[in-house]
Amino acid sequence: MSLTSPLFFLFLVFTLLIYFTLPRRYQWFVLLAASYLFYATGGIKLTFCLLLTTITTFFAGLLLTRLEKKNHKKLVLALVLLFNFGLLAFLKYYNFAAAGLNIFLANAGYTLPTFSLLLPLGISFYTFQSAGYLIDLYRGKYRAETNLAKFALFVSFFPQVIQGPISRFDQLAPQLTAPHDLDYDRLKYGIQLMLWGYFKKIIIADRAVVVVNKVIDNFAAYPGSLIAIAVFFYCLQIYCDFSGGIDIVRGAAQMLGINLRENFRRPYFATSLADFWRRWHLSLGDWMRDYLFFPLSLSKPFYKLGKKTRKLFKGKLGKIIPTSLASFIVFFTIGIWHGANLKYIAFGIYNGLIISFSIVIEPYWNRLLQKLGINPEGRFWLVVQVLNTNLLVFCGRYFTRAASLGAALQMLKKTFFSFQPNAVSVQALLNLGLTKTDYLIVLLGSLVILGVGFAQEKGKAIRKTLEQKNWAVQWSLLMAMLLVLVFFGIYRQGFIASEFIYQQF
Amino acid sequence: MEAKVLSILAELNSDVDFSAETNLIDDDILDSFDIITLVGELNDTFEIEIGPQHLLPENFNTVAAIINLIKKLQAGG
């Protein structure tokens, strides 16, 4: 059931009706039933994988709380994490690995079979969420959930199960099982947030995708300049698609009285690539920090490496080499997590290298700025940094969108070495599948997002400002937003609501 | 102990008055790289073992919280 489908709308209204009319002690049960119904519409068989992760994690959690010896706890944790990440890896990477191995095995006369494996919806998201719960239990952060049904709800909560945000047990679970009264303000906030999400998704992302697919799927036929335009549209698309989807998810949860964490903090205002990743997909970044980066950096091998590098290099450089290496491993992992394809590995390496390198050169860079008389805190340098970061992100997007690593490199080559700026004309743009009105809508829509982002960046709370207007203004604005969606959204001729990009991960 | 902790923090970033800050983590004054460097120094200086399970915002938001954590670990907890 797609979040943009009328069916989802009906499903949400129906769930809200039952949720707020039944006695409050049954509310969490309604959420559980709704979550499994929602998930099962994506395929009954795939629900089995969700159940498997839920059950193994739940019982491992109970065991962790009961076991006394640290070694035993470690073993349980390792086995269950291995099983669940193994399942994820098998479903995600088996065919890729088998195809790769078959090239070598062919000489020896063997071939590994490949299967048509369907990836369960949101498997990465609920696997990460469950693993976080288990690691926290191992670290003694809280006690295990003793009710299987309540735990199942934590893993499967319907708005967030398909594309996050990846939540923490101690923040989400108590909210899911607590009784909630119908709250007019929360309902209104929820609707506003959902409409904002739909605005991003069906007004902008679903238009931008037309240009992106047209050019990138047949990039050989286009000059570098048009490829660059298509990748720029892809940057718009992926932000509006993912953050819009998260707004819809958070809005739906808010209507039910549940606050999900933020996943984006205006990444296009980032001042460095590291800053970008602190603003983009926050819940994955935080997960990687707490469960991969920290343990890795504090592990014995990294500690020993740190001692050696501090001896070899005096000053900051010696201290940050092991941390940079850990961060590089994190980015490599995030790259692989995106999918079984060399282009994602390259994407991880690209980000990891730039970030590690910038940390190493930072002290020298600051000295250079001082010599040039540039104030690193000044507005001029801020703008340069933001533009530079966007350029780096833009180049990185070549890897994630191209069909393969080879295609990404060729597209980059064309952009840099055969740009052909004269090829950009009104007619050339109109040949990419969008009309003049479409381009205008994308432009205006993006400006609205940029304007709202700028105001938020300055610390203005848009919804609080709205709050101070009278109810007629507030509801008129909502209605206007709804009308915009109906008139300029996907329901026009020729447009098909596309699936959200991140739910495939 | 406070003086030692403050001098380690000052080495990380000399522009911040760490004794006055109450939200070192939540306000992003210390990022994850700083935390790792800080933990390395604290472990060496006070002969303790701060592990990933201790890396919670509430343990690092203020100098007092950091000192509390050190004392707790020195006492064997």
Other CB atoms within 10 Å distance of the CB of residue A44: 9
Beta-carbon contacts of residue A140 (< 8 Å; ≥ 6 apart): B53
3-state helix, strand, coil in chain B (%, to 5): 60, 0, 40
Contact: B36, A290; criterion CB under 8 Å: no
CA B29 to each of CA A164, A386, B22: distance values in angstroms, whole numbers, following the listed order: 27, 20, 10
- How far apart (Å, rounded) are the C-alpha atoms in residues A228 and A395? 9
Q: Which residue of A has its CA nearest to B11?
A: A316
- CA-based nearest distance A324→chain B, Å: 8
CA distance A187 to chain B (A): 29
Question: Closest residue of A to B39, CA-based?
Answer: A298
User: Residue A36 has which token pair?
Assistant: 């499994």
Give the pLDDT confidence of A29-54 residue by residue, as tens digits: 999 999 999 999 988 888 999 999 99
Give a yes or no: residue B49 inside a domain.
Answer: yes
Average pLDDT over residues A238-263: 96
3-class DSSP string for A450-496: HHHHHHHHCCCCHHHHHHCCCHHHHHHHHHHHHHHHHHHCCCCCCCC
Tally of structural domains, chain B: 1
Range(s) of the domain holding residue B49? 2-6+22-74
pLDDT of residue A365: 84
Round to whole Å and give the CA distance between A26 and A15. Answer: 13
* Contacts B52 to A, Cβ<8 Å: 139, 290, 294-295, 298
pLDDT tens, position by position, B35-59: 988 998 899 899 999 999 999 889 9
Q: Is B39 on the interface with A (CB under 8 A)?
A: yes
What is the arithmetic mean of pLDDT over A109-116?
A: 77
**Amino acid letter, A176:** L
| Position B17 in a domain | no
B13 within some domain: no
| Maximal C-alpha separation, chain A | 77
Q: Where are the domains of chain A?
A: 6-180, 183-264+402-505, 271-383
For residue B29, give the CATH number of its domain. Answer: 1.10.1200.10
**B contact test, residue of A77, A278, A279, A294 with most B CBs within 10 A:** A294
What residue of B is the nearest CA neighbor of A140? Answer: B53
pLDDT at A493 over 60: no
> CB burial class (10 A; 0-12, 13-18, 19+) of residue A66?
exposed
User: Is the Cβ pair B33, A323 closer than 8 Å?
Assistant: yes
**Cβ distance A241 to A201 under 8 Å?**
yes
pLDDT for the residue numbered A160: 93
Question: What are B15-42's pLDDT values in tens digits?
Answer: 888 888 888 888 888 888 889 889 988 9
Which two structure tokens, joined as six digits, stand for A282?
């926050």
Query: Could you count the other beta carbons within 10 Å of the beta carbon of residue A110?
Result: 10
pTM of the model: 0.90
Query: Closest-CA residue in chain B for A304?
Result: B40
Letter string b/e over residues A482-503, b meaning 16 or more CB atoms within 10 A of that residue's CB: eebbeebbbeeeeeebbebbbb
Q: Write down the pLDDT at residue A488.
A: 72
Q: Answer whether residue A443 shows pLDDT above 90.
A: yes
- B11 falls within a domain: no
